[in-house]
Amino acid sequence: MAILFALLSAFSNATTAVLQRLASVSQPETTGGWRTALALVRDPRWLLGLVFMGGTFVFQAVALYFGELAVVQPILVTELIFTLALRRWWLRDPITPKTWTAAVMICSGLAAFLLAAHPEEGHRVATVGDWVWALTTRGLVVVVLVVLSRTGSPARRAALLGAAAALVWAIDAAFVKAATDLLSQSGWASLLVHWPLYAVVASGVLGTILVEAAFTAGPLAASQPALLIVDPLASIALGIELFGEQLRTSVPALTVSAMGLAVMATGVVLISVWAPPVMTSHKGKPGPGPPRAGDVAGLGL
């Protein structure tokens, strides 16, 4: 169930990016400001994108309800593959064989990690001290990354901000896990009067701001790998630290797990570089679905 809903979350997020970008690039170039915002709100594709955005969060929450951070967060990297598929079969974009090779590397590395590490649910209840330590240490790293991102090349700044956003999203996933655990134990009424729900909202807002800053600061090929590699690694560490999640620790298991994560990370980097370049909208292209339009967030679309 955790794997299924994690895959649904990844697919939903990819669909959100495609739909909202389709709506965005279809607006006349002469419009701007509030006129563009008003037009987007009226566009069915943009509104449908909001529905899928909500689905992304719900599916992730359900996945974390059934499974571990060490399982769910790495699987969310498959968003890249779903986005490629949408580009190819919906938008009719040409995807080169080497790009599909990178997608296969992501799947192979992910499968190798999950099979070798075999994450298992922990039974630890994080104390206040555990949360304070986890948030303080990760928060300091985020601050340092943001400060360092103020100087340097656009690629360096984008990568540092992407890494900072990834840490925040990993913390947000831990909050979601805590909220779903509370829900399963005490019900909806308890969820509304305890802190995890509101921590999810706060970290989600901060993560979104950092992601947008990373995409604005420099090339997607720099920010995207940092975002999608650091997030699962940080989530695995948080799952072990806060919830007592367990991975196989034999030498063969650790070796294959590390190799799997390395292959997955390499695939993320290559797919970020090899994906088709940023495109401009153009009309009248044959094939199903709406007219093709450019640059979907998450794959240079």
Q: At what angle do helices 34-42 and 2-25 cross, to 10 degrees?
A: 130
Q: For the chain, which residues make up each domain, given as ranges? A: 1-95+276-301, 97-119+246-274, 122-244
Residue bearing the bigger pLDDT, 269 or 300 = 269
- Reply yes or no on whether the pLDDT at 201 is more than 60: yes
- pLDDT given at position 28: 61
Distance CA 13, CA 54 (A): 9
- Reply yes or no on whether the pLDDT at 300 is more than 50: no
Would you say 275 and 164 are in contact if contact means Cβ atoms under 8 Å apart?
no
- Reply yes or no on whether the pLDDT at 251 is more than 90: yes
Q: What is the pLDDT of residues 253-290, one digit of tens each?
A: 999 999 999 999 999 999 888 876 654 444 444 333 33
Q: What is the pLDDT of residues 177-198, one digit of tens each?
A: 999 988 888 888 888 888 989 9
Residues in the chain: 301
Q: What is the pLDDT of residues 129-178, one digit of tens each?
A: 999 999 999 999 999 999 999 998 999 999 999 999 999 999 999 999 99
Q: What is the pLDDT of residues 22-81, one digit of tens each?
A: 766 666 655 555 665 666 666 777 778 888 888 999 999 999 999 899 999 999 999 999
Distance CA 134, CA 97 (A): 42
Q: Which are the contacts of 238, defined by CB distance < 8 A and separation ≥ 6?
A: 69, 134, 138, 170, 171, 173, 174
Cα dihedral angle (128, 208, 6, 278), rounded to 10 degrees?
Answer: -150
**Amino acid present at 78:** T
Would you say 99 and 274 are in contact if contact means Cβ atoms under 8 Å apart?
yes
